[in-house]
Amino acid sequence: MSEAREQFVAGKRFLREDNVDKALRHFEKAWKEDKENAEYMSYYGLCKALRGGEIGLGLELCTRAIKKEFFKAEFYLNLGRVYMAAGNKKGAIKVFKKGLRYDQGNEELYKALTGLGFRTRPVIPLLDRANPMNKFLGILIRRTIPNMFSRRKKE
């Protein structure tokens, strides 16, 4: 494993532990070794925005990572988090929804959207959201349809 990759893996571990300061240092080392790697770019941009307060740089790096590899939902999650750090809730919702187009089963994106208070339209728009029929159909669809088309996660 390359030095940059080791730094990146360590950075992700620290980010999962909510130690953004250490994650930032590791992501920065990885990114400086390979500035064209979209993963390093996205996570470094995220941490620069969250801890460094450099929202502009974070937006630029996360957006460049998406342009390089538009199909990776985690990059949309990172960009959405940068938008949240900037106080742009609308932008974050838009980015999270776009990320779900590429990975419908991504639970982190769903958690981020629901954490922002985002709710989909009722299944039967003519009925109230609290109507038992809408509730039942909504739960049924949410639990069955995304799972029918998504790949099984490797454990």
What tens digit of pLDDT does each residue of 102-125 get? 998 888 998 898 888 777 778 888
Host domain of residue 39: 3-119
pTM of the model: 0.76
User: Side chain identity at 135, as an amino acid letter?
Assistant: K
The pLDDT of residue 146: 58
The pLDDT of residue 141: 81
User: Side chain identity at 2, as an amino acid letter?
Assistant: S
Under a CB-based contact definition with an 8 Å cutoff, are residues 105 and 111 in contact?
no
Looking at the fold, whether 137 and 149 belong to one and the same domain comes out as yes
Band of residue 152 on the pLDDT scale cut at 50, 70, 90 = very low
Looking at the fold, whether 17 and 42 belong to one and the same domain comes out as yes
Helix (H, G, I), strand (E, B) or coil at 131: coil
Looking at the fold, whether 97 and 142 belong to one and the same domain comes out as no
Looking at the fold, whether 144 and 114 belong to one and the same domain comes out as no
Looking at the fold, whether 48 and 89 belong to one and the same domain comes out as yes
Whether the per-residue pLDDT at 11 is higher than 80: the answer is yes
